[in-house]
């Protein structure tokens, strides 16, 4: 039996960021079932940091995380983690309600969006059909994220403080004996006082393994693809471009275009593969607004975005099962909020007062606590 203070189950961005912030003060192990970290949702994102995306709480957490991502500690990453991109919402006259909502939401967070005329939109996206949008709203603070550098930075930092990372380490049994968790799987025998459930789409089944009640963490499929663009297509100023009501989006990706239907279809935990119809509909919608045909798809993939019913993240101890810490339901915001949520979880696990940035943003632990989702408690 190996002994640790904190055992984190899940080697995605959630588990890695908690390990990073916890390891300087405790003996930490991260267990990942797959051969590689980041294999599931974390490796399948659109890699956009958008402070105007998601619920109010997600936006506040994204803003806090931005301070870390813009200026990470020395040695965290070899290059910048964020690079200017912009986030442009586009729509037509029939989508004016969506426009009003976006303006109101942005004003509430103190970062107003910049209204663009159709010709200003055209100057950013010269390959957009001019008649396809009558309004645009630009968030100039949105950036591209280097997700792999973030993941590796968190894990490298955790290891530098003695944390252990084990891949090919599937947890199959969780039992509590004498106030300590016993964590077992093939070639795994670990004891730890505290368990962190960072299992992403598998959060509920993992909790049930520990005898805790499921919270209703539901994974939702989202498919994306990368396609070639005709030679000479000017992608240099093209922002992350999202159609009103999030009916599809596209953004430049290393000289090509990344596109998505932005669908949100509930499913079960697993390793989802793209559905040909979802890809075809996405291609059709995106082609409809562009001046060129999408002739060659380089690749397509599907990932899971996991939500609880109020769509806010969960980070806190289970109210009934001792030493069992939930950290998930990160939806479509898990990368951009990771630096803030990882710090939040570490402070809770280490029983330290939260950093001032949380109080300044008006964030209280109860907003993230799993107890809010368990009406029987
Ligand atoms: C198409 C798409 C676009 C997205 N775009 C963005 C974006 O632009 N910006 C953004 O911030 N977010 C985005 N997201 C969301 C983001 O990817 C997720 O919120 C985030 O990756 C969730 O991280 P996680 O660590 O909770 O989950 P995961 O990365 O899935 O990690 C959970 C890990 O737990 C492991 N695990 C589960 N059960 C066990 C077990 N029993 N034993 C051991 N290990 C186990 C799994 O193998 C998995 O690796 C997007 C998601 C998708 C699908």
List of residues 6+ apart from 351 with CB closer than 8 A: none
| Mean local confidence (pLDDT), 240-253 | 94
What is the structure's pLDDT at 28? 98
Q: Which two tokens stand for residue 197?
A: 């459930």
Model confidence band, residue 377 (pLDDT cutoffs 50, 70, 90): very low
pLDDT exceeds cutoff 90 at 110: no
321 alpha carbon to ligand 1 midpoint, in Å?
A: 24
Confidence of residue 107 (pLDDT cuts 50, 70, 90): confident
Task: Determine the average pLDDT of the residues in 36-62.
Answer: 96
Place of tokens 């956009």: 48
User: Rounded to the nearest 5°, which phi and psi values hold at 59?
Assistant: -65, -40
> What pLDDT shows up at residue 375?
62
Closest CA to 17 of 336, 374, 377: 336
Q: Which residues pair with 174 in a beta bridge?
A: 183
- 281: helix, strand or coil: helix
Residue 330 pLDDT > 90, yes or no? yes
| Domains, the chain | 2-69+146-215+310-373 (3.50.50.60), 87-140+218-307 (3.30.9.10)
Ligand 1 centroid to Cα of residue 16, in Å, is 11
Residue 152 has pLDDT above 70, yes or no: yes
How far apart are alpha carbons 24 and 320 in whole angstroms?
A: 28
Record the tokens describing residue 176, joined without a space: 């509590």
Distance (Å, whole) CA 205 – CA 213: 9
Q: CB of 230 within 8 A of CB of 290?
A: no
What's the pLDDT score for residue 266? 98
Ligand 1 atom 18 nearest Cα: 334
d(CA 186, CA 167): 12
Write the pLDDT tens digit of every residue in 214-224: 999 999 999 99
What is the residue with the minimal CA distance to atom 15 of ligand 1?
A: 332
Return the pLDDT at 98: 87
Pocket of ligand 1 (CB under 6 A): 9-15, 31-34, 39-42, 44-48, 170-171, 198-202, 206, 222, 224, 260, 303-305, 328, 330-336
- Residue in 287, 357, 347 with CA at minimum distance from that of residue 315: 347
Residue 262 has pLDDT above 60, yes or no: yes
pTM over 0.95: yes
Find where tokens 């993939």 sit: 301
In whole angstroms, give the CA distance from residue 99 to residue 116: 12
Distance in angstroms (rounded) separating the CA atoms of residues 300 and 286: 15
Q: How far is the CA of 373 from the centre of ligand 1 (A)?
A: 21
Name the residue with the closest Cα to ligand 1, atom 47.
33
Share the mean pLDDT of the chain: 96
- The string of pLDDT tens digits covering residues 122-147 is 999 999 999 999 999 999 999 999 99
Token readout for 329 is: 């339901």
Q: pLDDT, tens digit, for every residue of 191-213?
A: 999 999 999 999 999 999 999 99
374 has a pLDDT exceeding 80: no
Which of 42, 173, 209, 324 is the pocket-test mutation for ligand 1 (most atoms within 8 Å of CB)? Answer: 42
pLDDT at residue 376 in the model: 47
């Amino acid at each position: 039996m190996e002994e640790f203070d904190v055992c984190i189950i899940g080697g995605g961005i959630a588990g890695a960021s908690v390990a990073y912030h916890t390891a300087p003060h405790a003996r930490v192990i991260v267990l990942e079932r797959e051969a590689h970290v980041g294999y599931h949702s974390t490796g399948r994102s659109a890699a956009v940091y958008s402070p105007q995306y998601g619920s109010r709480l997600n936006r506040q957490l994204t803003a806090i995380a931005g301070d870390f991502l813009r200026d990470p500690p020395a040695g965290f990453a070899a290059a910048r983690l964020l690079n200017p991109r912009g986030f442009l919402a586009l729509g037509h006259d029939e989508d004016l309600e969506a426009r009003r909502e976006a303006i109101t939401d942005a004003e509430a967070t103190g970062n107003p969006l910049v209204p663009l005329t159709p010709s200003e939109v055209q100057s950013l996206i010269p390959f957009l059909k001019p008649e396809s949008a009558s309004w645009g709203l630009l968030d100039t603070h949105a950036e591209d994220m280097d997700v792999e550098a973030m993941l590796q930075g968190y894990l490298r930092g955790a290891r530098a403080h003695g944390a252990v990372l084990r891949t090919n380490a599937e947890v199959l049994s969780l039992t509590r004996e004498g106030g300590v968790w016993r964590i077992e799987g093939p070639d795994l025998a670990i004891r730890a006082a505290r368990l962190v459930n960072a299992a992403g789409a598998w959060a509920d089944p993992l909790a049930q393994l520990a005898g805790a009640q499921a919270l209703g963490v539901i994974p939702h499929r989202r498919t994306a693809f990368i396609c070639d663009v005709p030679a000479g297509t000017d992608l240099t100023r093209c922002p992350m471009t999202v159609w009103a009501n999030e009916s599809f989006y596209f953004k430049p990706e290393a000289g090509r275009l990344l596109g998505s239907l932005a669908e949100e279809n509930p499913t079960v935990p697993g390793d989802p593969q793209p559905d040909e119809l979802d890809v075809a509909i996405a291609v059709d919608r995106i082609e409809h607004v562009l001046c060129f045909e999408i002739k060659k798809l380089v690749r397509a993939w599907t990932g899971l975005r996991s939500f609880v019913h109020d769509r806010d993240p969960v980070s806190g101890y289970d109210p009934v099962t001792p030493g069992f810490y939930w950290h998930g339901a990160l939806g479509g915001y898990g990368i951009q909020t990771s630096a803030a949520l990882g710090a939040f979880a570490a402070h809770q696990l280490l029983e330290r007062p939260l950093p001032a940035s949380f109080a300044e943003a008006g964030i209280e632990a109860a907003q993230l606590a799993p107890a809010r989702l368990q009406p029987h408690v």
